[in-house]
């Protein structure tokens, strides 16, 4: 079941430098048992504002922000348990800056840096015990420089 209504949305986010007040269409989809499945704001048929998805039991699974159809700012994704799965950052629809993925227990799984939608800088992968698994350097989306592999105890296995 989908439902659209007219509402006013106020976006004030100094970090994004977005200040907008206007009339929006809110689209909602529901599971057959009536629990909210998704909610998104549109303006002129483009995603514009918050977009959220939920599990069948009402747990938030993802929350993203859009500006005229392009993802902007922080996108958060969650495990069905509610634990944070990913904290991603976007600028004009492309990944930008620090991107982090987590194991369900909250331990860091992956930490990467993006510039203009491409891997750029250090990319680090971790074992579930928190030890560094792999560390690689990227430039404009291509591996550039060091690449190191570690075992679960943190000992260096290979380096190129």
Burial tier of 114 (Cβ tally within 10 Å: 0-12, 13-18, 19+): buried
Please report which confidence band the pLDDT of residue 2 belongs to, taking 50, 70 and 90 as the band edges.
very low
Q: How far is CA 139 from CA 101, 119, 120, 126, 132, in A?
A: 20, 7, 5, 21, 21
% of the chain exceeding 90 in pLDDT: 84
Q: How far is CA 122 from CA 50, 136, 147, in A?
A: 30, 6, 10
pLDDT at 10: 52
Place of tokens 């918050």: 50
Q: What is the pLDDT of residues 84-140, one digit of tens each?
A: 999 999 999 999 999 999 999 999 999 999 999 999 999 999 999 999 999 999 999
Q: What is the pLDDT of residues 54-95, one digit of tens each?
A: 999 999 999 999 999 999 999 999 999 999 999 999 999 999
pLDDT at 3: 47
Q: What is the pLDDT of residues 11-37, one digit of tens each?
A: 555 455 555 566 789 999 999 999 999
Is pLDDT of 9 > 60? no
CA distance 127 to 132: 6
pTM: 0.84
Place of tokens 């904290």: 87
pLDDT at 39: 98
Q: Where are the domains of the chain?
A: 1-93, 96-160
- Residue 98 near residue 75, CB atoms below 8 Å: no
Q: How far is CA 106 from CA 73, 95, 154, in A?
A: 22, 22, 19
């Amino acid at each position: 079941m989908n439902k659209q209504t007219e509402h006013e949305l106020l976006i004030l986010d100094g970090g994004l430098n977005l200040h907008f007040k206007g009339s929006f269409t809110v689209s909602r989809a529901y599971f057959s048992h009536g629990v909210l499945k998704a909610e998104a704001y549109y303006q002129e048929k483009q995603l514009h504002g918050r977009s959220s998805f939920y599990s069948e039991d009402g747990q938030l699974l993802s929350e993203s922000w859009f500006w005229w159809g392009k993802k902007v700012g922080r996108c958060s994704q969650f495990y069905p348990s509610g634990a944070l799965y990913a904290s991603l950052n976007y600028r004009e629809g492309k990944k930008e800056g620090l991107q982090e993925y987590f194991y369900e227990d909250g331990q860091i799984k992956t930490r990467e840096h993006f510039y203009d939608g491409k891997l750029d800088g250090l990319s680090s992968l971790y074992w579930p015990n928190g030890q560094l698994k792999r560390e690689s350097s990227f430039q404009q989306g291509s591996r550039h420089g060091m690449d190191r592999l570690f075992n679960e105890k943190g000992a260096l296995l290979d380096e190129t």
